[in-house]
């Protein structure tokens, strides 16, 4: 199967700054893929290379098998990008903006699809309003609409919910999820880790221009976040003290590597006659994984990184 | 899923035209008015002092120069300001993401600039006909048209180059005020170079704008400072060189794709 988006050994420097240091990564068709990393990790550079906005110093990128440089027309037709910057053309209305964007892709009479986009993005009442008169959140939704005018099979959203209020964020994600169910491949970069956790099936984490983790969300969570157990007791056995993440009013948060460790902990507490007042297993979240990976605490090799 | 897509450049051309049409007061009427002011002032002051070709009054001589100057300056203004605005506001990305080729971008920006230049030039011509109706009886209208088309294409291309090169409005203003304006003003819009001292006559011959204006004027009077065929060849050559330079730079994504 052809990958929706494939990067092979992509490197790019800006002056002495190495933005990307050899990134290889394949996103399969139909995935909802997350690209995470701190500022300056190279996420936007990577996306810009896929979109043909930036040239790679080395390596190749392709969209559905079309090389983004050699076969740029087919590659760009297959790709819709929602840029990070809130940009607009002040000369035009919302509908004109979407019609003109359709025309750039050689599509005329796109009215029915534009109406549908406007409806899903809750912009129907603003169709004839000038872009200047829109709020930031509305402008952001027009950008999403512009990325969809040509019904691209692959959609990249670069920080799409910055500045969009919570309610609209939900409806935006509803729409993007629907597009994913309809078969569109979605690639998302976001600073909101809870968004990535809620939406993405597979996640790549970038750090200093390198892929430091690449796996399903489920595997990342179980692999990197480990398990935290909250034990209410006077103390935990001395051997377990180094594993205590924090303590709050007699509650000890203990990091476990495996569920088997829980059995050991309980045995030792029984042995020392420590009464357990409360016991709860805490679910890991992506933020823990993110912080652990970005902090360099990898506990072994990253799964499938640079594969 | 994806519809078969046709060419995207006609839409970019349409966008370029809509952009200046929506602010026509500023982009069409204002330059027509300035050309008219030049005509009123210069013809009033100089009519009886300046001799040009035999049998041609100064005001008659001045009008084709003003028309062509308007064509050139507005063609430059259109492509350069459109591109720099898109670069600075960031909406250039809307044109870089679609499958528009370097040739598509070139065609749309330059044709848009040509239309703006020719619309303003026609406006100036129509208004000035009230003063000198006899100008309508041009002996060689096709020559005039050829120079207007080539001149506006050259300036539209220069505008595209300037817009690509400039990162700020300030830099574009430098290009405009220190290159385009002096070259147009010193190209024989307001005088025949035969009235200049020998040094400045020779200097004018290095100014490509001089040939555009001189050739354009040939269409109106059947007389010119240099043979029109020579001017045409030179102007067409300039157009070819600048176009291929611009297309090469667009292909490389110079200052557009990083």
pLDDT digits (tens, 9 = 90+) for A90-130: 999 999 999 999 999 999 899 999 999 999 999 999 999 99
Is B176's pLDDT higher than 80? yes
| A47 → chain B, closest CA residue | B97
Instruction: For A279-305, write each residue's pLDDT tens digit.
Output: 988 877 777 778 777 775 444 334 333
- Residue A106 touches partner B, C-beta closer than 8 Å: yes
B8 with A105: Cβ contact below 8 A: yes
- Residue B126 touches partner A, C-beta closer than 8 Å: no
Is B87's pLDDT higher than 90? yes
Tell me how far apart the alpha carbons of residues A140 and A134 are, in angstroms, rounded to a whole number: 10
pLDDT of residue A301: 38
- Residue B57 touches partner A, C-beta closer than 8 Å: no
| Shortest alpha-carbon distance between residue B69 and chain A (Å) | 27
| A104 → chain B, closest CA residue | B8
> What mean pLDDT, rounded, does chain B reach?
92
For the beta sheet containing A185-189, the strands, ordered from the edge strand earlier in sequence to the opposite edge, are A79-82, A154-158, A185-189, A32-36, A202-207, A210-216
Tell me how far apart the alpha carbons of residues B34 and B36 are, in angstroms, rounded to a whole number: 5
Domains and CATH numbers, chain A: 5-221 (3.40.50.300), 227-283 (no CATH)
Rounded mean pLDDT, A265-281 = 89
CA angle at B66 for the pair B61 and B72, rounded to the nearest 5°: 135
| A55 → chain B, closest CA residue | B258
Rounded mean pLDDT, A209-224 = 85
pLDDT of residue B6: 60
Among A151-160, B71-80, B185-194, the minimum mean pLDDT is found in B185-194
Percent of chain A with pLDDT strictly greater than 90: 54
Looking at the DSSP bridge assignments, the partners of residue A60 are: A8
Q: Which residue has the higher pLDDT, A75 or A222?
A: A75
Instruction: For B199-230, write each residue's pLDDT tens digit.
Output: 988 889 999 999 999 999 999 999 999 999 99
To which H or E segment does residue A8 belong? strand A5-14
The minimal CB distance from A105 to the residues B5, B19, B23 is found for B5
Mark which residues 98-117 of B lie under 8 Å from A by CB: 98-101
| Shortest alpha-carbon distance between residue A168 and chain B (Å) | 24
Q: Which residue has the higher pLDDT, A291 or B96?
A: B96
- Are A47 and A158 in contact by the 8 Å Cβ rule? The answer is yes
Tell me how far apart the alpha carbons of residues B255 and B73 are, in angstroms, rounded to a whole number: 24
Counting every residue written for chain A, the total comes to 307
- Are B53 and B132 in contact by the 8 Å Cβ rule? The answer is no
Among A193-202, B7-16, B33-42, the minimum mean pLDDT is found in A193-202
Contacts of A52 in chain B (CB under 8 A): 96-97, 257
Rounded mean pLDDT, B169-180 = 93
| A99 → chain B, closest CA residue | B11
B90 with A85: Cβ contact below 8 A: yes
Contacts of A96 in chain B (CB under 8 A): 18
Model confidence band, residue B7 (pLDDT cutoffs 50, 70, 90): confident
Strands A244-248 and A5-14: unpaired
């Amino acid at each position: 199967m052809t990958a929706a988006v494939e990067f092979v050994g992509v490197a790019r420097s800006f002056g002495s700054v190495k933005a990307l240091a050899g990134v290889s990564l394949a996103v399969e068709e139909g995935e909802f893929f997350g690209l995470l990393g701190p500022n300056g990790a190279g996420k936007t550079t990577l996306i810009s290379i896929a979109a043909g906005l930036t040239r790679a110093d080395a390596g190749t990128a392709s969209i559905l098998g079309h090389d983004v440089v050699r076969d740029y027309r087919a590659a760009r037709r297959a790709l819709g990008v929602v840029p990070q910057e809130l940009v607009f053309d002040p000369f035009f209305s919302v509908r004109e903006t979407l019609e003109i964007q359709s025309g750039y892709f050689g599509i005329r009479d796109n009215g029915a699809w534009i109406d549908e986009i406007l409806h899903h993005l809750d912009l129907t009442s603003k169709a004839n309003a000038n872009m200047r008169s829109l709020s930031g959140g509305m402008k952001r939704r027009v950008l999403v609409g512009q990325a969809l005018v040509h019904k691209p099979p692959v959609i990249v959203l670069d920080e799409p919910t910055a500045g969009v209020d919570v309610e609209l964020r939900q409806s935006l994600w509803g729409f993007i999820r629907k597009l994913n169910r309809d078969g569109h491949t979605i690639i998302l970069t976001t600073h909101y880790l809870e968004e990535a956790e809620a939406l993405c099936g597979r996640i790549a984490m970038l750090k200093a221009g390198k892929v430091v983790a690449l796996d399903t969300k489920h595997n990342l969570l179980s692999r990197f976040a480990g398990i935290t157990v909250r034990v209410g007791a006077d103390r935990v056995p001395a051997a377990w003290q180094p594993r205590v993440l924090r303590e709050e009013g007699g509650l000890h948060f203990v990091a476990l590597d495996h569920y088997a460790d829980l059995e050991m902990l309980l045995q030792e507490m029984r042995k020392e006659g420590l009464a357990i007042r409360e016991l709860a297993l805490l679910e890991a979240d992506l933020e823990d994984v993110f912080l652990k990976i970005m902090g360099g605490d990898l506990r072994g090799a990253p799964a499938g990184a640079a594969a | 899923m994806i519809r078969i897509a046709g060419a995207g450049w006609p839409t970019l051309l349409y966008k370029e035209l809509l952009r200046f049409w929506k602010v026509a007061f500023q982009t069409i009427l204002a330059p027509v008015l300035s050309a008219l002011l030049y005509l009123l002032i210069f013809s009033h002051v100089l009519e009886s002092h300046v001799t040009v070709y035999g049998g041609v009054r100064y005001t008659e001589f001045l009008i084709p120069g003003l028309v062509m100057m308007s064509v050139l300056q507005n063609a430059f203004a259109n492509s350069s300001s459109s591109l720099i605005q898109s670069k600075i506001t960031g909406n250039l990305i809307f044109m870089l993401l679609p499958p528009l080729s370097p040739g598509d971008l070139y065609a749309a920006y330059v044709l848009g600039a040509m239309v703006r230049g020719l619309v303003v030039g026609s406006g100036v011509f129509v208004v000035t006909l009230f003063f000198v109706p006899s100008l309508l009886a041009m002996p060689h209208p096709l020559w005039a048209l050829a120079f207007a088309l080539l001149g506006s294409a050259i300036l539209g291309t220069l505008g595209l180059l300037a817009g690509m090169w400039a990162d700020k409005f300030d830099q574009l203003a430098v290009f405009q005020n220190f290159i385009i304006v002096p070259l147009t003003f010193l190209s024989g819009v307001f005088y025949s170079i035969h009235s200049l001292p020998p040094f400045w006559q020779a200097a004018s011959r290095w100014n490509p704008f001089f040939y555009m204006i001189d050739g354009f004027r040939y269409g109106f009077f059947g007389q010119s400072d240099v043979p029109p065929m020579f001017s045409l060849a030179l102007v067409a050559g300039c157009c070819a060189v600048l176009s291929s330079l611009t297309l090469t730079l667009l292909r490389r994504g110079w200052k557009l794709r990083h």
